[in-house]
Structure 1
Amino acid sequence: MDLMTTTPVLADAAAYAQAVEEAKQAAAAYYAGGTSPLDDDAYDRLGRAVEAWESAHPEQIRADSPTGKVAGGAATGDVPHSRPMLSLDNVFSAEQFTTWAASLERRIGRPVERWSVEPKLDGLAVAARYEQGRPARLITRGDGTAGEDVSHAIGTIAGLPERLTQPLTVEIRGEVLMTTEQFETANSLRVAHGGEPFANPRNAAAGTLRAKDRPYTVEMTFFAYDVLSPSGDPSGDRGDAASEALAGLDDLAHSELIARATALGLHTSGATAVPGRTAAGTDELLDRVAEIAALRAELPFGIDGIVVKADLAADRRDAGAGSRAPRWAVAYKLPAVEKVTKLLGVEWNVGRTGVIAPRAVLEPVEIDGSTVTYATLHNPADITRRDLRLGDHVMVYKAGDIIPRIEAPVAHLRTGEEQPIAFPETCPQCGSEIDRSEQRWRCVRGRDCHLVASLSYAVGRDQLDIEGLGASRIVQLVDAALVTDLADLFTLTREQLLGLERMGETSADNLLAAIDTARARPLSRVLCALGVRGTGRSMSRRIARHFATMDAIRAADAEAMQRVEGIGTEKAPVIVAELAELGPVVDKLVAAGVSMTEPGATPPPPPGAETDASAAAPAGAQAGPLAGLAVVVTGAMTGPLEALSRNQMNELIERAGGRSSSSVSRRTGLVVAGEKAGSKRTKAEELGVRLVDPAEFATLLGDYLPA
């Protein structure tokens, strides 16, 4: 796993001096109020360039250089720390980490017996001092020797309890951050009170922690990563029960200190999807790094890397610390998933259900190995809430396979030339009125607005797969008023088709045969073709396999719909309402002889009729050779699987009891790697996930393969 990012090269002393000034200004802006002209990745790259120059020209190092200083020398404070509160050095690849670890082991004269591996939370380091079990003072890291008193924030930070489980006088060190939800709330309140939105959760936490006398309160979250006695001397000197509880802290492994913090009622990463764990060697450690990196996109808070520490107290003691960072810990930085770029425009696209969706057009920027030129904007209310303007510098976030999104404008970079975003007055597709009653605007004509696109989607290869029905032919049918909805396709006659321009007898007969074949498609294909809001190919398969028949689907209320994997309280009523709205079309499809069952699936028992046996297995579940496995297909299929589309492969996986997935993680059970499989195969090898080629997969499926 090579996470190294390109380091810019400084050409001469003048470029070095300019880089130092830029780094100082960026650090000062961030630590003063949570603003910065640079995103995190750009600041890291600038810092590495300064370090590289200074390494090659030690005689020219400036006294005001941020290198080797806690917080880049930008933060100050007047509350002394009980012990220095240092930063961490960074590595950006497995090779760099291996070199760093070898250096540590040479320093202590032995192999590191055990490593602690935990997520590097993207927030602000603080020290929380408790007296008799109650929070008394909250201090920022500052310059490492003294910090700023931000005790006014006590009571607004989740994870810092009002009372510890023991009445101890103790210092807890950790990270204050904003979760994604807290960030959204913070920016909504900030804009509502006339302020500029924060660019990202990290800046929001930095600015909010220092803010006083606001007319509103914003919650943040604390994660503990260290426990110290109040004087910094863990031996204690009172001889009472409280002192005894703190005795020997310096002799505890880091993992034991985290367990101690948890026992005191403090919030740690142990309660998250990426808990801190120990690793016995470098290989196991790098596996854990890969595991945390794979889960990054799913976390409700930001991480920008993984913190690796020598776990045992003896190793930490013998390694010691430098002026800026401990020598026994390092931050293994992950590739940036957010960058600053410029918002050039907004496109308004109308979906097949009539939803009018804005899309941001961006100045191209490389994020996490790919070039991003578009980002989602969700809806008009989202644009207003974020106070976005054309020409804004915006923070764009991308993680995993998720569509990039704009977090917020970088308001302090505004020049005054930015322009408001114009919202459409009428439907951009057909010119009809717009229904603005919900956050997601919709053309009042609904599906009829985009009938050609809706029908083109419905007859596509992954839905009903009706050969001969291209967009131009569908336009003919709609313009001739022969088709007003999906069901009308199945009542077309030979005479009607022959009346169309450029439609001969052979073409008409072939099209009617293709339509007749489509009547037998499984329910999941029909459901997908209907274009129910909140569903797609994979969700349509889940719904069809859960309920087995269209009658059971239409009879389901929101509570029953939530029993389908991946459908929550918000999506369920939307799907139920959509199906009710589509009722007349479904009735016409049934009358036309279109299949309304899913092969191999079993309908759920009626309410109140569940038995212990039925409760043990979800409706639609079956054994099969892939039972319980998450399966990823990558590369080109060959042999018996060569003719199958990716959607057909996913259908095949789910008929055989598995669950199709698009990304490889520790939870993946099997990867089918065809020709030119690429990065997903590599990732499976790194994680030790079982790999099979198409021929082996076909043998494994046996009778489940299509005839």
Structure 2
Amino acid sequence: MDRIQAEQRVTELNEQLRGYGHAYYVLDKPAVPDSVYDQLMNELIELETLYPDLIFPDSPTQRVGGTPISNFDKVTHALPMLSLSNVFNEEDIRDFDRRVRSGAGDNIEYVCELKIDGLAVSLIYENGQFIRGATRGDGRVGEDITVNLRTVRTIPLKLRKSESLEVRGEVFMPKKSFHALNAERGERGEELFANPRNAAAGSLRQLDPKIAASRNLDVFIYGIGGDAESHGLSEHEETLQFIEALGFKTNNERQVCRSVEEVLAYIEKWTEQRADLSYEIDGIVIKVNRYLQQQELGFTAKSPKWATAYKFPAEEVMTTVRDIELSVGRTGVVTPTAILDPVSVAGTTVQRASLHNEDLIREKDIRIGDKVIIRKAGDIIPEVVSALVEQRTGDELPFEMPENCPACGSELIRIEGEVALRCVNPQCPAQITEGLIHFVSRNAMNIEGLGEKVIEQLYREGLIADISDIYKLTKEQLLNLDRMGEKSASNLIAAIDASRSNSMERLLFGLGIRHVGERGARILSEHFGSIEKLMTATFDELINIHEIGGKMADSIVAYFETEEVQQLMQRLAEANVNLTYTGTRVRVEEGANAFAGKKIVLTGKLEKLTRGEAQSQIEALGGKVSGSVSKKTDLVIAGEEAGSKLAKALELKVDVWNEERLIEELSK
């Protein structure tokens, strides 16, 4: 076959494979057996190998690039990707409908669509060719993730018509793919993804597109990011049909509703049937159908007035508290956990739910034997909502927190300003083992093979008492452990040896000093360069470092003042563990992310994060979380039922974000 014949055949194969791929991935109606598709794909690969100049950007073989990238470039959206306002009940929906009719008349149609729980993206095409894809980011600036979006097979690399346009959609991970991915990660001992949305977001932010390609992501396109009327379109439903004709995948479960009653019926239907879908949804999007009416209604500063998102209430189920167990963390905090009769909640089986602290148990009057209502906060974290007092039989047992540590027997104390009870015995075995587990974890010293069970066994057998003992372990000692073979022991010794050369910030984070997270450890390591210099730092020296606050400074000084810690550092040095910073010194400048150097206030009830989680993540990125709003406040994060702090922020014209925007920024 000469080059002219090869070019003709390559063109034919491209068209055939694109058509078959669309039928398989978008329409879910395979047009040919897999063997036929594979045969044609192999023929195309052979021809492209013979004639590399015939490899076109939209070739089905170019879904996955071969070279990982170093970072993602920033992209400014031509038109901002605004977030939607939220409604939570029938009254809210009727209020939205009244506002719409007041502004655009009574002749209103709505398009109701399933709100996909994924990651919003922008896709740009020129003359029918996919040229760029980006995340939503803060709505104005996102990240260029083109290389990863090219791996999503439901995103066409070439449109059926030579159109130039931007479309917007939601990339998601189907439930089946999510469960398979977590099963694989579990087998490898890796941290599991909390939900499909996190898995999809994490996949699209991989620097190696081969990883993204392996995650089986999907997409639904929900609109055009620009002037749809320039394409001769006058309605949202018409636009969805138009982009379907171009080869995009849209969600066919949408419905045009001609009254608020039809909207409510649609919501009721999918509230009941959402579990039957092959992907996760977290609500319903309601949009005015006609573009002229959308223009009449306009926008607020943050969202369109012609659209809103109904958020599903968290699924609540009843179960029984069989026991309340106590666990002691590495900082000594004693946490009660409800042991429940197994029950399915939001797609997973729940058997345990944190009760957080003694005050919460008293406030909710939770007793052993109680029938309780539980839910997953933000569809993620199991929590006990309430006890069903009216169903008590008299056999239920009130729970009292002990006065002594369940692990070591030391007296528990409550530090002023804290609600938690804490064991302050530095020799508490539970704290020691939890500290050891933290030290070897992936984000600390990253000693592969030294997992929780192995640590517990080593401590129980008296082979390790503190972190320095890890570096004294021998292969012979490891071979005496349960389920530890020759190869595993050799690999573990090699992993321990390799960790000796880790840069200082990993060691510092692994020490588990209170208030010192990964970011704080890196900043301190960059500044001081060695553990020796950090050990002699004063409180004033520490708080003069950008992003190091008073609590962290106090904690660092107190930690290194103790004789036991000084001796521990000496033992680590004698074990040839590196105590210096060997990474690249990159100073994080103020404004390098959305939180660095800013004073931030959290108010109202957050759905997907606890207040503590939000605060720790913000502070890890250099933000300072305050309890009150003032002229010095840079940003307010407002959840549900935000009250006086939100009102004051609006009065002072302080920037206000909702939780969705917060999570978008934290995930960057």
Q: TM-score, normalised by structure 2?
A: 0.38
Q: TM-score, normalised by structure 1?
A: 0.37
